[in-house]
Each structure stands twice: as C-alpha cells, then as structure tokens.
C-alpha cells in the first residue's frame, strides 16, 4: 500500500527519487523506523533524530521501530529510546527480527518444541512468546536452531553448538543476515557474519531460513503488530530497509546517517532505490522536491542539475546565484545525481563515474 503526493514516483518508474508536496509526516500515517544508524548508533542518538521524531509524533504520525537487531527485548529497546529522549516509545511500538523469526519457527514446529538459541535475551523472549522452549546445547534435542545478533561478547562456543546441531540435520533459522552493524566506533560484524561462521563450519551444505528485512516474514510481522495503512519505511541500508520496502510494496526514505553513503546510493539497483532521500530524520518533517527531466535529458532538483557525459556524472548549479553555502541544498544535488545515475544504468550503460561530482559536494 502506498501514497503518492505531488509528482511522486510513477508506478514502475524507479529511475529518480519521488517528490512530495507536503511533509512526509503528513503524507504517511506510520513511520517504520530502523534503529541502528537511523535513530541511534552505538547507543547514542543520531544528530537531529530525537527532535525530529518528537515533531513528527506531535503532528499525528505513528512511530514504530523496526529493527533487524535481535539482541534486546522490545521493553529494553523502548526504555533505551526513552532514555535518549524519544517521546512516547513503548514496547508495543517495537518490532524485532527476533519476533519475526520466532513466528516463522512456530509455524513450522509443534508448541513446546525446544529451540537451540545462539543470540541474546531478545531472541529467547520472542521464542517464549510463541510457546517455544529455548535451550543451550545441541545435546538438548532441539528441533530447530536459531541465530540472532548476540553482541560482541557472544562466546565462541555458542557457534560451535549451532554447528553441531546443524551438522546433524536440525533445521536452521536466522533472525537476519546483515553482515555489518553500525556502532559508535564504526562498522562492526553483524549477525550475517555469525551465520557465515556456522555455514563454513558445516561445510556450506545447510542454508538457514531467514526472517528479517528485506524478506517477507519481517514485513508480515510489522504489519500485524503496527496496523499501518500508509506506512513509510525509514532506514539507512539499501539491502535491508529499502529492499524490504520494495518487497512489501511500500514507499521508503533513506537517511544518510548510517551504513549507506552517496556513492553506494548512486550505484543502487532498482530494488535498492528509495522513494525519498534525506540527510537525516529531519527529512520526515518537510516535503520532498521534485526531480525533473529537462529537454536535454538532464535531471534537475532545486538549484542543481545533473547529467552524464563520457561515462561521468556532471553536476552544475542550475541557478547561477546559488551556492552550497548560500542556499543550494546539497541534498537536492544528491537527488539530481540519483536521477542521472539511475537512468543511465537503466538504459543499459555502466554506472557513471561519480568521483568528480561527489568531490564538488565534498562527499
């Protein structure tokens, strides 16, 4: 389900960002917000996140927090958000990949089944919520193995237990397969890296069932728990948040406060292209400028124009009097560059070289 305001993005047209004549917080009833890299990083609030969420909520937008991180319980996540100053955050507003994978397992095994857990308390709580029994050893006769992010202190022996059970043919599940996770000191290994450890140890023969973004089980869990009618997915990752929105048929906003940088955005394949792009969560509070195609095939947005010449992206100011410091929004330049780069790729060419254009923006 989607809503198109203003120019928007035409059905099937993914070669440029969409536009909205009104603030996104008014165009959509629910923001499905990723956490790591969007609301916080390494436990600390991302700049402008708390204030922006407060304004969006005060204006009537429902805020739901949808995370692939299965480490903490919804109660712990809500408490953390409250500590950061996010208004009105409650456990019922939090949807985790632990909940999604627990439902997936419960659909496959009888109630009361034992499940070997490699992960944190959030995963154990979610399993118990579905009537399943978490166990610690491959010798506890589990009928399933589940992996979720367990934090940097997860003992190596936990991976060994998972490998023993999977090697014996026990069905294998994963909350998510994000290879990385953003933190205060940089990008660290995520649950996907841990899944690869077990895969390698078992000879690469087994394949886990995965619940988290961008796959359908996570979208199903989110819809069931939030009841959103006009949702907007808000995330920092192309391969989870934005692809998950694409798979669910809903619109998305990419914020550049986490994993994805501008160069990666310009090289995005169609299913990884967000409907909207913003520097941070302040993008929820404003409309989105239209990206227009001119007579020469260039893409304009605000004071900027982008085109492709000799395999390179060319960025110029469409308004001679504008400057980055004096009114030309750099994010409008990014949106125009997206139009030029995505259209060139869709026309069958290679992704244009963005080096000079990004250097002009200081990216």
Active site residues: 34, 36
**Strand order in 30-33's β-sheet?**
94-96, 62-67, 30-33, 231-235, 251-255, 276-278
User: Residue 293 and residue 329: Cα distance in Å, rounded?
Assistant: 18
HSE of 304, CA atoms in CB hemisphere, 13 A? 28
Contact between residue 55 and residue 87 where contact means Cβ atoms under 8 Å apart:
no
Comparing CA positions, the residue from 308, 325, 217, 214 lying closest to residue 266 is: 308
Backbone φ, ψ for residue 109 (5° rounding): -130, 160
Tokens of 345: 């790729």
User: Residue 79 and residue 93: Cα distance in Å, rounded?
Assistant: 11
Tokens of 73: 């319980």
Between the alpha carbon of residue 319 and those of residues 130, 296, 324, 326, the distances in Å are 59, 17, 11, 12
Between the alpha carbon of residue 15 and those of residues 11, 137, 292, 302, 346, the distances in Å are 11, 50, 11, 18, 7
Nearest-Å Rg of the Cα atoms of the chain is: 22
User: Residue 89 and residue 162: Cα distance in Å, rounded?
Assistant: 34
Contact between residue 297 and residue 307 where contact means Cβ atoms under 8 Å apart:
yes
- Maximum pairwise Cα distance, the chain: 72
């Amino acid at each position: 389900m989607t809503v198109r305001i203003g120019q928007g993005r035409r059905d099937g047209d993914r070669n440029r960002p969409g536009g909205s004549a009104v603030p996104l917080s008014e165009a959509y009833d629910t923001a499905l917000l990723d956490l790591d890299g969007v609301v916080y990083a390494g436990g600390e609030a991302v700049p402008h996140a708390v204030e922006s969420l407060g304004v969006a909520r005060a204006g009537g937008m429902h805020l739901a927090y949808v995370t692939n991180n299965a480490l903490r319980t919804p109660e712990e996540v809500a408490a953390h958000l409250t500590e950061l100053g996010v208004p009105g955050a409650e456990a019922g507003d939090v949807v985790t990949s632990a909940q999604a994978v627990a439902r997936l397992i419960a659909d496959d095994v009888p109630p009361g089944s034992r499940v070997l857990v490699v992960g944190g308390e959030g995963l154990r709580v979610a399993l118990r919520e579905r009537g399943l029994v978490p166990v610690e050893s491959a010798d506890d006769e589990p009928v399933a193995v589940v992996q979720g992010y367990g934090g940097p202190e997860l003992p190596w022996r936990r991976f060994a237990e998972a490998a023993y059970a999977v090697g014996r043919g026990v069905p294998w599940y994963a909350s998510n397969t994000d290879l990385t996770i953003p933190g205060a000191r940089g990008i660290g290994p995520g649950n996907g890296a841990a899944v690869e450890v077990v895969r390698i140890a078992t000879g690469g023969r087994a394949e886990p069932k995965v619940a988290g973004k961008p796959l359908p089980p996570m979208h199903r869990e989110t819809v069931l728990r939030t009841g959103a009618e006009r949702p907007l997915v808000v995330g920092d990752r192309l391969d989870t948040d934005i692809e998950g929105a694409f798979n669910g048929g809903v619109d998305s906003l990419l914020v550049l406060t986490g994993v994805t940088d501008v160069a990666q955005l310009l090289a995005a394949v169609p299913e990884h292209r967000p409907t909207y792009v913003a520097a941070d969560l302040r993008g929820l509070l404003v409309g989105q400028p239209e990206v227009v195609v001119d007579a020469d095939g260039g893409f304009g947005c605000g004071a900027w124009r982008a085109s492709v010449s000799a395999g390179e992206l060319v960025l110029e100011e469409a308004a001679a009097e504008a400057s980055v410091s004096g009114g030309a929004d750099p994010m409008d330049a990014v949106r125009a560059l997206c139009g030029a780069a995505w259209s060139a790729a869709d026309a069958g060419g290679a992704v244009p070289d963005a080096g000079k254009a990004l250097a002009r923006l200081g990216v």
